[in-house]
Amino acid sequence: MKTILIPMLFTLSVTAAAAQNQVATLRGAAPLDETERAPVIPKVVNSDIRQVRNYPEQPPVIPHKIDGYQIDTNYNQCLTCHARSAIDVSQAPMVSITHFMDREGQFLASVSPRRFFCTQCHVPQSEAAPKLDNTFVDVDQVLDYIQSHGGGNN
């Protein structure tokens, strides 16, 4: 009885949560025996305009398409433009110097292997509408809020 009850309770709570938040599951609202039409793949932002970071430590997002870019042990196509020695030609921002550091804090001559795979942190953006509203507040707004409420150093 217990073994059946737990998955049942779990399913019930998940369905309840989904109903509450009105979030569709990934497979959509179609009945189980039907397949819903796949949504159109949203376009990748290709404006080449640098975006604001939401917090200082945020890895900057990629403002262009990176379709088919090869990033493996043989070659890193991002570095074709973003390498230290390439930016005079490409006029692209250079890979941050922090990426040259190994884990002992020693600076290497080029990008450290642990920071080599760009897309682990840096990603392009798509024009997809978010499924949920985001309540994230920028740190400047937080400071403004604190100050306006008599907090901070004032």
Partner 1 sequence: MRGLISRIWWIMRRPATHLSLGFLTMGGFVMGVIFWGGFNTALELTNTEEFCVSCHEMRDNVFVELQPTVHYSNASGVRATCPDCHVPHAWTSKIARKMAASKEVYGKIFGTISTREKFLEKRLELAQHEWARFEANDSLECRNCHSAESMDITLQSKRASEAHERFLLTGEKTCISCHKGIAHELPDMGSARLRPDDDRVALKAYLESSD
According to the binding rule CB under 8 A, does residue 65 interact with partner 1? yes
User: Binding residue for partner 1 (CB under 8 A) from 60, 61, 66, 77?
Assistant: 77
Helix (H, G, I), strand (E, B) or coil at 44: strand
Q: Measure the CA angle with vertex 125, ends 25 and 87; round to 5°.
A: 155
**Segment near partner 1 (CB under 8 A); pick from 66-74, 98-106, 120-128, 131-139:** 66-74
**Segment near partner 1 (CB under 8 A); pick from 15-23, 27-35, 42-50, 139-147:** 42-50
Comparing CA positions, the residue from 117, 140, 132 lying closest to residue 66 is 117
According to the binding rule CB under 8 A, does residue 58 interact with partner 1? no
Using CB under 8 A as the binding rule, the residues of this chain from 89 to 148 that contact partner 1 are 89-91, 110
b (16+ CB within 10 A) / e for 95-122: beeebbbeeeeeeeeebbeebbebeeee
Q: By CB under 8 A, name the binding residues for partner 1.
A: 46-48, 64-65, 67-68, 70, 72-77, 79-81, 83, 85-86, 89-91, 110
